[in-house]
Amino acid sequence: QSVLTQPPSVSGAPGQRVTMSCTGSSSNIGAGHNVHWYQQLPGTAPKVLIYDNTHRPSGVPDRFSGSKSGTSASLAITEVQAEDEADYYCQSYDSSLSGWVFGGGTKLTVL
């Protein structure tokens, strides 16, 4: 059971907009700690997609965006493409655990 809760799967057709959520609590996201998102393509290491809730590293397409409100955060992908098919993880810091926590991951399927 992960500290941050993500839906196990989402799907969308090419060109559609998809969103995925990350729900935490008052000891992590709700405590004001930033949320970061990672993309993990099959058989590869995770790659940071969004950091500090809304920022994209250079090289990440602007189709990817992040938001945060209260104890939750969301990742949105506009105009989803086949190459976006991957697992997505949210991450934050938990004050009660004194450590970093990840969501269980969401598998994106492009139909």
Partner 1 sequence: EVQLLDSGGGLVQPGRSLRLSCAASGFNFGNFAMVWVRQAPGKGLEWVSSVFGSGYGPKYADSVKGRFTISRDNSKNTLYLQMNSLRAEDTAIYYCAKGEGMEMTNYHFDYWGQGTLVTVSS
Output the CA angle 4-14-38, nearest 5 degrees. Answer: 30
- 75 interacts with partner 1 by CB under 8 A: no
Contacts with partner 1 by CB under 8 A: the residue count is: 26
Nearest to 88 by CA among 68, 63, 57, 109: 109
Q: Rule CB under 8 A: choose which of 73, 101, 108, 110 binds partner 1.
A: 101
What end-to-end distance do the CA atoms of the chain give, in Å? 28
Contact between 40 and 47 (Cβ < 8 Å): yes
Q: Of 84 and 93, which CB lies nearer to partner 1 in the complex structure?
A: 93
Nearest to 110 by CA among 10, 7, 41: 10
- 66 interacts with partner 1 by CB under 8 A: no
Stretch that binds partner 1, among 14-22, 62-70, 71-79, 85-93 (CB under 8 A): 85-93
- 36 interacts with partner 1 by CB under 8 A: yes
Contact between 67 and 93 (Cβ < 8 Å): no
- 24 interacts with partner 1 by CB under 8 A: no
What residues line the site for partner 1 (CB under 8 A)? 2, 33-34, 36, 38, 40, 45-48, 51-52, 57, 89, 91, 93, 95, 97-105
